[in-house]
Amino acid sequence: MTTTDLADVTASDAALRRFLHGLPGVDAVGLQARAAALGTRSIKTSAKAYAIDLAISMIDLTTLEGADTPGKVRALAAKAARPDPTDPAVPRVAAVCVYSDMVATAKAALAASGASGTSGGAGIRVASVATAFPAGRAARSVKLADTAEAVAAGADEVDMVIDRGAFLSGRYMTVFEEIAAVRQACAGRAHLKVILENGELATYDNIRRASWLAMLAGADFIKTSTGKVAVNATHANTLLMLQAVRDFRAATGRQVGVKPAGGIRTSKDAIRYLVLVNETAGADWLAPEWFRFGASSLLNDLLMQRHKLRTGAYAGPDYVTVD
């Protein structure tokens, strides 16, 4: 798919609709069976140790609660920089994800620890949810102001939510234009992650269409969910999104990342997702630049399993912090 082809696809609402509805239909039974089969793969101890460290390095350590305080965000940033203070070999996480009003606090805390990064450089990024997260029910001007505030505060990444109401109503161009406008509001200073909220899209066909729509509009990452609805990341819907980014790169030459979020709590589950990545999109996506976990409690289990592999015994209940 050339630049001209992309322009043709997005030239009008009708052209965009034809393209999205022309994508191959999803075999739901086959998709779920494939996800289940990959989930049974076992890996050797040495590979497990590598996978645990890789998963730690892919975490967007997240707090998105109304009760968030500067102190909680500073503590989260400290944990992101040194997940296990007793073991400097434990890798840092990829990012700290907060609301926009906490971006400056997170940025300052990471800078003080020497762990601050940028959207294109080393170190821990600060990601901010935006666009009236999690529901996205606000005027576009409000969503763009929300994004601009996060970027001005120093966000390296912005996690936006699509307008699911517009998408489910078939107003695809409205969704496309909003994503493109948010990308422009990132002003080249922040990477854009587009949250599809798969649990509200109802069908696998819709998830495939929303994935392609977000990528066509310029998403750097596509993300499964907000973590605020009943159905968040699943192996099947993440597998479908991995297929989408693989096929999009084959068609356009542009690589897009994937971020499952919500409900991923154990090392065993995280490793299953890494198997999905390797077997579906390929090894090119097995890096924090291209795959992330949106999580809060996952890091604790990864640290405990890492300690078990290293020492042969599980740590006591005080080994990890209570988030």
140 C-beta neighbours (distance < 10 Å), count: 15
Q: Residue 61, SS3? A: strand
Q: How far apart are CA 157 and CA 208, in angstroms?
A: 23
**CA distances, 227 to each of 196, 233, 265 (Å):** 11, 8, 12
DSSP 285: G
Instruction: Give residue-wise pLDDT tens across range 274-310.
Output: 999 999 999 999 999 999 999 989 999 999 999 999 8
Tell me how far the alpha carbon of residue 47 is from its chain's centroid.
24
- Residue 152 token pair: 């001005």
Lowest mean pLDDT among 42-56, 61-75, 116-130: 116-130
Q: How far apart are CA 289 and CA 221, in angstroms?
A: 9
Say if 318 falls within a structural domain.
Answer: no
Say if 316 falls within a structural domain.
Answer: no
pLDDT of residue 320: 63
Q: Which of 107, 156, 223, 301 is catalytic?
A: 223
SS3 of 129-165: ECCCCCCCCCCHHHHHHHHHHHHHCCCCEEEEECCHH
- For 212, the domain range is 3-311
The closest alpha carbon to 239, from 26, 23, 1, 20, belongs to: 26
Say if 179 falls within a structural domain.
Answer: yes
Q: How far apart are CA 137 and CA 146, in angstroms?
A: 13
Q: Are 226 and 197 in contact (CB under 8 A)?
A: yes
Place of tokens 């300690």: 307
**CA distances, 108 to each of 83, 126, 267 (Å):** 18, 10, 30
pLDDT(1) > 90: no
Say if 321 falls within a structural domain.
Answer: no
pLDDT(119) > 60: no
- Residue 275 token pair: 């198997």
CATH number where 35 lies: 3.20.20.70
pLDDT(117) > 80: no
Q: Which of 84, 146, 156, 159 is catalytic?
A: 159
Measured distance between the N- and C-terminal CA atoms of the chain, rounded to whole angstroms: 45
- Residue 169 token pair: 């109503």
Q: How far apart are CA 132 and CA 250, in angstroms?
A: 33
Question: What confidence category does residue 134 fall into, taking pLDDT thresholds of 50, 70 and 90?
Answer: very high
Q: How far apart are CA 78 and CA 159, in angstroms?
A: 22
| Residue range 154-177: mean pLDDT, rounded | 98
Lowest mean pLDDT among 67-71, 91-95, 161-165, 306-310: 306-310
298 C-beta neighbours (distance < 10 Å), count: 24
Place of tokens 């994503």: 179
What is the pLDDT of the chain when averaged over all its residues? 93
Say if 238 falls within a structural domain.
Answer: yes
What is the chain's length?
323
Q: Which of 107, 163, 259, 301 is catalytic?
A: 259
159 assigned to active site: yes
Say if 323 falls within a structural domain.
Answer: no
Instruction: Give residue-wise pLDDT tens across range 76-89.
Output: 999 999 999 999 99
Say if 227 falls within a structural domain.
Answer: yes
- For the sheet containing 59-62, what is the strand order? 257-259, 221-223, 191-195, 157-161, 125-129, 95-99, 59-62, 293-295
Tally of domains in the chain: 1
What phi, psi does 203 have (nearest 5°)? -130, 155
Say if 320 falls within a structural domain.
Answer: no
What phi, psi does 71 have (nearest 5°)? -65, -40
Q: Are 182 and 192 in contact (CB under 8 A)?
A: yes
